[in-house]
């Protein structure tokens, strides 16, 4: 099967689709060797970060050997993939996505209400039905694992579907967000965000979520003027204690410095955004260290809203190539929308075109935290308006590089540290025993982060995919 996938798929697109829908388990006895490739080890520094002219042997879904081509034997009958002039990285991990959202204009009516154009019920039904395509855009982008860090109870069904789908990333999930605020426009009977007003209510919601075996418990810590911070912190602590008692980690959305510190005092293990408007300080870093907490900066997501809602969103070349064509086609719906259907706030944004600035403070915080040794996880918050599933990782990683991280550090955040966020030691590195989740690039990712978008093949669990064929299969 691998011979078909690797050799003939690029010319036989029909066969590609057949191959890519074959469950990984049927590959069982299959052996694959990537020969003469430069292996990238994002967990290492200096000369150890690469091994030139190497051979990687995969048996079934796992890597069995990695070594110099001259001394690493290729098993008889194994399919050979020529790695000469190419680079092999671990499959990337996006530490912050939401499958209940599509990235289009209609996906967050609580922020921009286009129900008059596309009813939210229609949008959520579309997102559910489109799941196989959404999974494929992730794989096509070289992302072989994602963390869906909060959504409706349906999220648990989504994880089951991903587990049974070969052409899908590995998925970890949180259930509904334990929130300080209501979002009634998102409540169609299975709300992604649930307002919680006491520690007892937080414990009760965690208990309901535990029945579905979440990978994280997530709190949406929104602190508005006049809110009682101590009371809110007690709710977060109750959720955190209940999560920790079940051996789960507590993920928290907290974007202001005092709120982020309160989250850490309450037990947060994973901050799913940066602090956006203020510099982080020594107390914050000390709290991060005390909790062994990870942080996912999500540098692009706010500007995704700003570009889209002022009708200035433009697809990058990577998005043109790798995003869901259905979503791309809808990103300029404001061009043709009847004026009376455009909410006044959005009409004003389109008319005024307010300046959209780089996330400078968050970038400075990222650099400061990285230099302090805090583990940084690459994540996009994909699904939010203007942040598309899949290729938005390339926007995010470009901003991380702008913030001062080297390409190797950016890649480490997207692999080694992503695996840490998932709590898995079988992902995020190219070594014997690890799952064979890999991306074969035709350009050097350590010379330019942009080269991370140059996937020629994406391998998940030992099964080889052609990114172009994955996208062609969902057109």
**C-alpha span between 180 and 236 (Å, rounded):** 10
Shortest spacing between CB 98 and Zn ion, in angstroms: 6
Nearer to Zn ion, 381 or 437 (CB): 381
Closer CB to Zn ion, residue 87 or residue 138? 138
- Which positions from 166 to 185 touch Zn ion by CB under 5 A, shown as an x/- string? --------------------
Residues 88/93/94/96 CA torsion (nearest 10 deg): -170
Report the C-alpha gap between 428 and 443 in whole angstroms. 20
Q: Nearer to Zn ion by C-beta: 147 or 168? A: 147
Question: For residues 422 and 435, which CB has a smaller minimum distance to Zn ion in the complex?
Answer: 422
Which of these ranges, 86-94, 226-234, 374-382, 447-455, lies near Zn ion under the rule CB under 5 A? Answer: 374-382
Among 25-33, 377-385, 390-398, 460-468, the segment contacting Zn ion (CB under 5 A) = 377-385
Q: Among residues 210, 199, 202, 127, which one has the least CA distance to residue 174?
A: 210
Q: Sketch the per residue contact string, 324 through 363, with Zn ion: x for CB under 5 A, - otherwise.
A: ----------------------------------------
For the chain, the distance separating the N- and C-terminal CA atoms, rounded to the nearest angstrom, is 24
- Between 166 and 301, name the residue whose CB sits nearer to Zn ion: 301
Q: Which helix (H) or strand (E) holds 35?
A: strand 31-40
Candidate segments 17-25, 281-289, 376-384, 439-447, binder of Zn ion by CB under 5 A: 376-384
Residue 53, Ramachandran bin (φ over 0: left; ψ between -120 and 50: alpha; else beta): left
Q: Considering only the stretches 192-200, 343-351, 381-389, 458-466, report the one whose residues sit in contact with Zn ion under the rule CB under 5 A.
A: 381-389
Residue nearest to Zn ion (CB): 381
Centroid of chain to Cα 370: 19
Q: Output the smallest distance, CB 390 to Zn ion, in A.
A: 16
Q: How far is the CB of 432 from Zn ion (least distance, A)?
A: 35
Nearer to Zn ion, 42 or 379 (CB): 379
Strand 50-59 relative to strand 62-68: parallel, antiparallel, unpaired?
Answer: antiparallel
Nearer to Zn ion, 54 or 301 (CB): 301
Min separation Cβ 429 and Zn ion, Å = 26
Cβ proximity of 127 and 161 under 8 Å: no
Separation CA 6–CA 81 (nearest Å): 7
Question: Does 381 participate in binding Zn ion (rule CB under 5 A)?
Answer: yes
The 3-state DSSP class for residue 84 equals: coil
Stretches 234-242, 328-336, 379-387, 393-401: which one binds Zn ion (CB under 5 A)?
A: 379-387
What CA–CA distance (Å, rounded) separates 314 from 451? 20
The shares of helix, strand and coil residues in the chain, as percent rounded to the nearest 5, are: 40, 20, 40
**Which C-beta is closer to Zn ion: that of 382 or that of 449?**
382
Instruction: Print burial letters for 333-366: b (CB count within 10 Å at least 16), e (below 16).
Output: bbeebeeeebeeebeebeeeeeeeeebebbbebb
111 vs 404, beta carbon nearer Zn ion? 111
CA distance 270 to 252: 6
CB-CB contact of 140 with 168 (8 Å):
no
What H or E segment, with its residue span, contains residue 212?
Answer: none
How many residues touch Zn ion under the rule CB under 5 A: the total is: 1
Q: How far is CA 396 from CA 257, 348, 392, 453, 457, in A?
A: 22, 28, 6, 12, 21
| Candidates 173-181, 378-386, 436-444, 463-471; binding stretch for Zn ion (CB under 5 A) | 378-386
Q: Which is nearer to Zn ion, 87 or 221 (CB)?
A: 221
CB of 344 to Zn ion, least distance (A): 27
Q: 85-102: string of b/e by CB count within 10 Å (b at 16+)? A: ebbbbbbbbbbbbbbbbb
Q: State the minimum distance, in angstroms, from the CB of residue 99 to Zn ion.
A: 11
Report residue 17 as tokens.
């689709």
Is residue 94 within the footprint of Zn ion (CB under 5 A)?
no
Angle CA 382–387–388, to nearest 5: 75
Of 86 and 302, nearer to Zn ion (C-beta) is 302
Closest approach of Cβ 19 to Zn ion, in Å?
33
Nearest to Zn ion of 18, 111 (CB atom): 111
CB of 226: closest distance to Zn ion in angstroms?
25
Q: How far is the CB of 96 from Zn ion (least distance, A)?
A: 6
Residue span 223-242 as binding mask against Zn ion, x where in contact by CB under 5 A, dash where not: --------------------
- Tell me the two tokens of residue 179: 């929130």
Give the pair of three-digit tokens for residue 104: 């289009």
Which residues in 44-73 contact Zn ion (CB under 5 A)?
A: none
- Least distance from Zn ion to the Cβ atom of residue 149, Å: 6
SS3 308: helix
Site string for Zn ion, 106-145 (x = CB under 5 A): ----------------------------------------
- State the residues that interact with Zn ion by CB under 5 A: 381
């Amino acid at each position: 099967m691998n011979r078909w996938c690797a050799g003939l798929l690029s010319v036989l697109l029909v066969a590609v689709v057949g191959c890519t829908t074959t469950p990984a388990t049927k590959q069982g006895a299959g052996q694959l060797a990537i020969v003469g490739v430069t292996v990238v080890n994002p967990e290492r520094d200096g000369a150890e970060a690469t091994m030139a002219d190497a051979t990687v042997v995969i048996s079934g879904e796992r890597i069995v050997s990695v070594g110099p081509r001259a001394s690493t034997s290729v098993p008889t009958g194994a399919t050979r993939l020529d790695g000469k002039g190419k680079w092999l990285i671990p499959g990337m991990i996006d530490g912050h996505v939401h499958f209940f959202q599509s990235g289009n204009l209609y996906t967050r009516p609580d922020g921009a209400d286009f129900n008059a154009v596309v009813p939210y019920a229609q949008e959520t039904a579309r997102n559910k039905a489109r799941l196989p395509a959404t999974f494929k855009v992730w794989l096509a982008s070289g992302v072989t694992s994602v963390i869906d860090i909060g959504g409706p109870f349906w999220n648990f069904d989504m994880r089951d579907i991903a587990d049974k789908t070969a052409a899908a990333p590995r998925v970890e999930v949180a259930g509904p967000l334990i929130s300080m605020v209501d979002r009634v426009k998102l409540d169609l009977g299975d709300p992604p965000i649930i307002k919680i007003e006491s520690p007892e209510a937080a414990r009760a919601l965690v208990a309901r979520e535990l029945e579905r075996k979440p990978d994280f418990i997530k709190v949406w810590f929104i602190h508005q003027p006049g809110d009682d911070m101590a009371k809110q912190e007690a709710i977060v602590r109750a959720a955190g204690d209940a999560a920790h008692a079940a051996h789960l980690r507590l993920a928290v959305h907290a974007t202001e410095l005092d709120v982020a510190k309160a989250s850490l005092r309450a037990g947060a293990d994973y901050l799913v955004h940066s602090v956006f408007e203020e510099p982080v300080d020594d107390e914050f870093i000390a709290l991060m260290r005390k909790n062994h907490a990870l942080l996912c900066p999500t540098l692009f997501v706010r500007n995704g809203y700003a570009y889209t809602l002022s009708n200035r969103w433009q697809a990058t070349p990577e998005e043109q190539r790798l995003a869901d064509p259905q979503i791309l086609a809808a990103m300029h719906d404001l061009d043709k929308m009847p004026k009376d259907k455009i909410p006044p706030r959005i009409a004003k944004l389109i008319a005024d075109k307010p300046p959209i600035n780089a996330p400078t403070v968050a970038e400075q915080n990222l650099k400061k935290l990285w230099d302090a040794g805090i583990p940084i996880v690459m994540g996009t918050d994909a699904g939010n308006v203007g942040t598309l599933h899949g290729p938005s990782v390339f926007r995010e990683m470009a901003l991380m590089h702008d913030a001062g991280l080297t390409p190797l550090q950016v890649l480490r955040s997207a692999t080694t540290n992503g695996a840490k966020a998932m709590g898995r030691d079988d992902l995020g590195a190219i070594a014997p025993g690890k799952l064979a989740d890999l991306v074969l690039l035709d350009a050097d990712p350590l010379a330019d982060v942009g080269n991370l978008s140059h996937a020629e093949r994406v391998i998940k669990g030992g099964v080889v995919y052609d990114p172009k064929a994955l996208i062609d299969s969902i057109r």
